[in-house]
Chains A and B, each alone.
Chain A
């Protein structure tokens, strides 16, 4: 290739490799600069004593504790829905489905993974309306509906990682169990699943991170700006990402804005920890697999 062309390409590559991280770094630095000084117990609990707030003795009005608790609950519930359904479906697709059925299921999960989260939120809202009209007038968008919709959002990820992890188990290992007289189910439970549990777990954690950061799904299905700690599955709730969005459009004074920055950092730390943990796990799994070779 021509020297000039090579040089031009290299310069462009370097510019990209430097400018993109700088741009993101700028956004993050600004956030940390504004938000870190705000991080304190007061940000979390306002004027309420932390112990009282944690024991739910006193409602926190002026801190982000209810939003953190709401995010925790809605994510926990959605993962509880999604893990069994997702892992079982992943097992079925990897081990039992064949030919056309597998192809159709694969496409279906790909489509589900690509559906915009707001559309899943809309689906959740419609479901709530449907239940409200036909089952009970006491059902409104709430924690339960939100968690179910979030579960739909992360289901395809869990199915996919389960499927891929199972399929990556080598044939000799598979046959080893079977040749010793194990049934297909037995082999799955005692040879294959233990082998790929790490991979599945890291996929689940990544999916948890996605559920924790999503705003679009919950904003249609029951999240509100102020609700305190939800006391039942049918109550409305607060959540960190929605709180941040809400502050950005409705802040009344500089103090509220600062709380928004603080909340953004807290959310960043939570999702950052989840992603970091998932990647660490993935690396450990890779090392374990390589170690056997």
Chain B
């Protein structure tokens, strides 16, 4: 597949990923167009989550993991670059612009508020700005009404569905250009899933989304392009 055609945002070419000696991804080629929603489908265990973690180089944090190939990304105000060639010191910057939401909600051991505020504090935002952005992000994922009175409670005490939306809100608060989603509605009931889906439809007008999902109907409703792994 050629990466030169059209308005691509992410172009993955010949990606191999190894955990130690075990190969989890083999020769993966994926291209995601700017401001579109690309879906990744495939049997469980085929390395879909690993694929997402390769794009924002989070696999660097997994001992023994190694990625080979090319992951080219075009970020605003910068030249296209190969993510796999970035130096360690530039990873935090990269990950702020490429937000990743895990399948299993991994809230940090802090309060609800501080979870969403965490990336903002790291970017040294002002207190006032943090408060606004946290509220906005929580409203976007339809969580604000549920947690506004419990902002200072440990995030662990929220339900699974609430935690999942909290993690999405946390990433949205960073204002990423690219959003990587791993089964974003797996813990939600139908009503909430529909809400999140319409949020994604709204978001893809502004940012590029790559999503892993195994709900075929969801894929059909949302995806502009579908890739199959494994």
Binding site for B on A (CB under 8 A): 1-2
Contacts and interface: CB of A to CB of B under 8 A. Distances in A.
A2 B124 CA distance: 8
A280 B139 CA distance: 55
A2 B122 CA distance: 9
Contacts of A2: 124
Contacts of A1: 122, 124
Contacts of B122: 1
**Residues of B in contact with A, size category:** under 10
Interface in B89-134: 122, 124
Interface of B: 122, 124
Contacts of B124: 1-2
3 contacts: A1-B122, A1-B124, A2-B124
Nearest to A2: B124
Nearest to B122: A1
B64 to A, nearest CB: 12
A1 B124 CA distance: 6
Nearest to B121: A1
A74 B122 CA distance: 58
A80 B124 CA distance: 61
A52 to B, nearest CB: 57
A1 B122 CA distance: 6
B174 to A, nearest CB: 16
A39 to B, nearest CB: 42
B171 to A, nearest CB: 20
B126 to A, nearest CB: 14
A1 B120 CA distance: 11
Nearest to B123: A1
A10 to B, nearest CB: 11
A2 to B, nearest CB: 7
A3 B167 CA distance: 27
A290 to B, nearest CB: 11
A1 B121 CA distance: 8
Rank and list the top 3 A-B pairs by shortest CB-CB distance, nearest first. Answer: A1-B122, A2-B124, A1-B124
A2 B123 CA distance: 9
B196 to A, nearest CB: 32
A9 to B, nearest CB: 14
A49 to B, nearest CB: 56
A2 B121 CA distance: 11
A6 to B, nearest CB: 11
A5 to B, nearest CB: 10
A271 B134 CA distance: 57
